[in-house]
Amino acid sequence: MFTSVKHATCMMERMLTNTSSELSRSWIAVAHSDELGDEPLQTWVLGEPWVIVRLNGEIRAFTDRCPHRLAPLSAGKVVDGELQCGYHGWRFGHDGMATSIPALGPAATLPQRACLSPAAAVAEHLGLIWLAPRTPLAPLPQLPGWNEDGYVSATCETVRTPVSAVQLIDNFMDAAHFPFVHPTSFGVEDAFDVSSDEIVSGGWLVTSTFTAPYQHHDDPLVDTGEHPLIQEHTVTKIGFAGCNAGLELRFPLTQGVFGIVYACQPETATSTRVFKVMARNDLDEAGMERCVKDEDAILQEDLKILERYTIMALETDLTVEVHIKADRLSVAWRRLMKGLETA
């Protein structure tokens, strides 16, 4: 069907994309903690470059532009606990205010506009660095068991994809695709009913808990025949206002607990970085290594479908697509995201 340029433009105006300003009111994971060394690091959020830097042990984030000639501050360095621009040597303190302009001499009065634009909030959490361009509405996602006794923690491979961050979270909120997208990993052939599960909304997040069948390849008693491969498990999903989601799986038969935090970084209109961190109480280190590989493969199963989309955006007009009862959680999350427009 032919789509006019005007119609296509109207479609995009009602959609959330990787450059939608609404997402600036959320926490966004931008790097692994070990990516940031002693020098500034450039990262991209919502189509804009940012510089993250450690100044006297404190992580700070600023738009990656020096106010002088708009040079990228990420091309500079840290000198005596301050961020120095690599172009003309201007220095900035932890609050973003200029402390030195070499071309004016040491006794000069510095212009009031000689300051950087900081992120509203910065945090180091779950082995990741997070920033919020504006004051975030939803909290940082929590991962029960992270670095706790009795649990093994791990980080999956970080993947870059053209799929938008909001599409990825919408997919994470959906459960009806499991038998069709993940039949060889954990999905079970017969679809299960998720139409009556309770959805709880509040505090700029939505939560749902339901039971579902699961191919429990990690259970060692499956190989001995003492436990069946397909086991019921309880799933709790949390969708945050932004590009983050949480998942907790509980296996009654083994008493296993498996938690995941899924964080998507909307870099540019055509690029998203996907972070996934996990914690489990039912695996040793070797088992967790296998789990990481399995989770990496599961993401690729999702991307095999999502990367075929021709528009990398999320529809927020709920009258456009045909929704059914099984979509209640993802629809509730979309309503949450639509609320960002007026927040």
Is 79's pLDDT higher than 60?
yes
143 and 126 in contact (C-beta within 8 Å)? yes
For residue 31, list its beta bridge partners: 129
Which residues in 28-63 are b (16+ Cβ under 10 Å) and which e? bbbbeeeebeeebbebbbbbebbbbbbbeeebbbbb
Among residues 282, 150, 182, 148, which one has the least CA distance to residue 290? 282
Q: What stretch(es) of the chain map to CATH 3.90.380.10?
A: 152-339
Task: Kindly report, residue by residue over 191-240, the tens digit of the pLDDT.
Answer: 556 555 689 999 999 999 888 777 787 788 888 888 888 878 788 999 99
Q: What pLDDT is attached to residue 191?
A: 55
Mean pLDDT of 18-42: 97
Specify burial of residue 20 (Cβ count, 10 A radius: 0-12, 13-18, 19+): buried
Which positions ≥6 away from 97 have C-beta within 8 Å?
A: 114, 115, 116
Average pLDDT of the chain?
90
**SS percent in the chain: helix, strand, coil, step 5:** 20, 35, 45
Which one has a higher pLDDT value, 189 or 191? 189
Which positions ≥6 away from 291 have C-beta within 8 Å?
A: 154, 218, 278, 280, 283
Q: What pLDDT is attached to residue 185?
A: 64
Is 188's pLDDT higher than 60?
no
Q: Is CATH 2.102.10.10 correct for 36-132?
A: yes
Tokens standing for residue 335: 């309503």
Question: CATH fold of 152-339, please?
Answer: Naphthalene 1,2-dioxygenase Alpha Subunit; Chain A, domain 1 (3.90.380)
CA atoms of 133 and 280, how far apart (whole Å)? 32
Tokens standing for residue 113: 């506009």
Name the least confident of 60-64, 162-166, 320-324.
320-324
Task: Kindly report, residue by residue over 89-112, the tens digit of the pLDDT.
Answer: 999 999 999 999 999 988 889 999
Q: What stretch(es) of the chain map to CATH 2.102.10.10?
A: 36-132
For residue 199, list its beta bridge partners: 208
